[in-house]
Amino acid sequence: MGMIRPPAVAGMFYPQEPGILARDIAALLRAARTPQGAPVPKAIIVPHAGYVYSGPTAAAAYARLAAARQTITRVVLIGPAHRVAFAGIAASAAEAFETPLGRIPIDREALTRLVDIKGVGLLDSAHAQEHSLEVQLPFLQTVLERFALVPLVAGHAEPALVAQVLDVLWGGPETLIVISSDLSHYLDYAAAQAIDARTRDAIEHLDAKPIGFDQACGRIGVVGLLAVAKRRALAVETIDLRNSGDTAGPRDRVVGYGAWAFTEPGAHASASAEDSIRATGPMLLSLARDSLELFTRRGLRLSEPEGLPPLLRAPGAAFVTLKRAGQLRGCIGSPTAWRPLALDAIDNAARAGHEDPRFPPLTEAELDGLDLSVSVLTPHRPMAFADEAGLLAQLRPRVDGLFIKEGRHSALFLPAVWEQLPAPRDFLAQLKMKAGLAPGHWSGDFKAWRFQAVEVK
C-alpha cells in the first residue's frame, strides 16, 4: 500500500472513536425518513459541517442509498477547497483515504481517465486538511458495502470543468456522484431561510444562474452537476433544508444545509419492475417447469395460458437454467425481448432440456432432483468507453450481465457467469471467445451493453 491520507478532522467534525462514530451515524440514518419505493439517486448534494450541525441533513440523503448497498462500487466525490488556494480541480496521489471506520481505496483507473482534461491534476496539499470530502466518508462507509473513491477538490475553476469530469466518470448504476456543499453562511435565521429557499428553487429547476458563492460554498460542484443533470434529463428532489439554528447553534449567525437527490429517467420504473418480476416469479417458474416436464414426458409444447398478469403478457427476455447436483445440465434463453415473457420462458425451458448442444436431451428419469431457475433480463443499456480498460472499469462482478457485438460476432453472459469467472478481464476474454473473437481482440467497432438479471428459483 502506498501513501495513505489520514483523517484530519476526526474528533472535531465527527467522533474519533470508531464505536461512537458508528453509533452516531446509525442513529442519524434511523431518524432519516425515506419514502416507500423512493428510487436510488444517481447523484446527491450533501452538506459538510460537523455532524452535530449538518448530520441530520446529510443522513437524509445517504439513507436513500440503502437499496444500492451492493450495487454502488464507485463514488465520485467533489467538494470545495477551504484550506489551499489553487486553480482547477485537485486529485490525490494517495492509494487510500482513512477514517476511524477503516480505509477506502482510491480508484486509480478512474483518475487516469482524467489526465487529459486540462485543469485537473494532482495536488495532495489540497486534500491534506480538507474537511468537505472527509466528513462524507464515514457515511459512505456505513451505507455502502464496499466501494472505490474518486476524491476531487475544486479550487478556482469553472463549473464547466466539473461537468466535463462528471461526463467522463458518469458510468452506470455502479457510480454515485456526491457533491459536497453547505449553503448560506453567518446570516441571521430569517435571512438564511430566505436565501436558502432561493437556492432550493434554483436547484429544483436545474437553473444554475441564480446561485452565487454567497449561496453555496460548493457552488462550482453544484453548478457543474446541474449542467449535467439538465442535459441528461435527471429528476431532482429536495430531501431536506434547514440550518444550524435548527440543530445545534444560535440563530443570530447560522449556516444553511440542504440535501438533494438526482435520479436518472426510468429509476422508478426499474425498481418497480424488479419487484413485479419477483412477485410473479412463482407463476413464471411453474410455467417453465410444466413446459419442460410436458415436453420431456410427451414431446408436446405447452401453450401460453390465458388470464396471465400483464407483466407475463408483455415482451420479455428470459434464460432458463437447469442443474443436477449443482452441475449445469442445460441453459438457453433470449438475449432481447421479442415475445411475451411467459411464452419466452415456456419455450426456453423446453429448449434448455432438449436443444442445448452441450448436452444430450433430458430424460424422464432426470426430472427428479432437477433444479430449474428463470433469469429475467432487464433492458440492455449501451456502455460508453474509449478502450478496453474503460469497459472493464465499469463492469460490476456478480451484478452485470454483458452483451457484446462487433459486426456479425455477438455473445452474451448472464451475471451468474461471474461465479466461474470472477475477474472482469477473464469474464470479457471468455465472452469474446464465445462470440468467435480472440481473447485480446479490440477495435473501434467493438460495442457492449450491460444488463441485470432477476433470478427466480
State mean pLDDT over 434-455.
Answer: 92
The superfamily in CATH containing domain 381-456 is Hypothetical protein ph0010; domain 2 (3.30.1490.150)
State mean pLDDT over 192-218.
Answer: 95
Per-residue pLDDT at 79: 98
Per-residue pLDDT at 371: 96
**Average pLDDT score, the chain:** 93
CATH 2.60.120.10 fits 4-265, yes or no: no
Per-residue pLDDT at 134: 98
Can you tell me the distance from the alpha carbon of 145 to that of 141, in angstroms, rounded to the nearest whole number? Answer: 7
State mean pLDDT over 312-322.
Answer: 93
pLDDT tens per residue across span 241-296: 999 999 998 999 999 999 999 998 766 655 666 777 888 889 999 999 999 999 99
Per-residue pLDDT at 269: 57
pLDDT band, residue 341 (cuts 50/70/90): very high
Residue 173, pLDDT above cutoff 90: no
Per-residue pLDDT at 6: 97
Q: Where are the domains of the chain?
A: 4-265, 269-377, 381-456
Can you tell me the distance from the alpha carbon of 450 to that of 236, in angstroms, rounded to the nearest whole number? Answer: 25
User: Above pLDDT 70, what percent of the chain?
Assistant: 98
Q: Which residue has the higher pLDDT, 12 or 393?
A: 12
User: Above pLDDT 90, what percent of the chain?
Assistant: 78
pLDDT tens per residue across span 111-160: 999 988 999 999 999 999 999 999 999 999 999 999 999 999 999 999 99
State mean pLDDT over 168-173.
Answer: 89
Give, in words, the CATH class of 269-377. Answer: alpha beta
Residue 317, pLDDT above cutoff 70: yes
Per-residue pLDDT at 271: 61
In this chain, the answer to whether the domains covering 269-377 and 381-456 adopt an identical fold is no
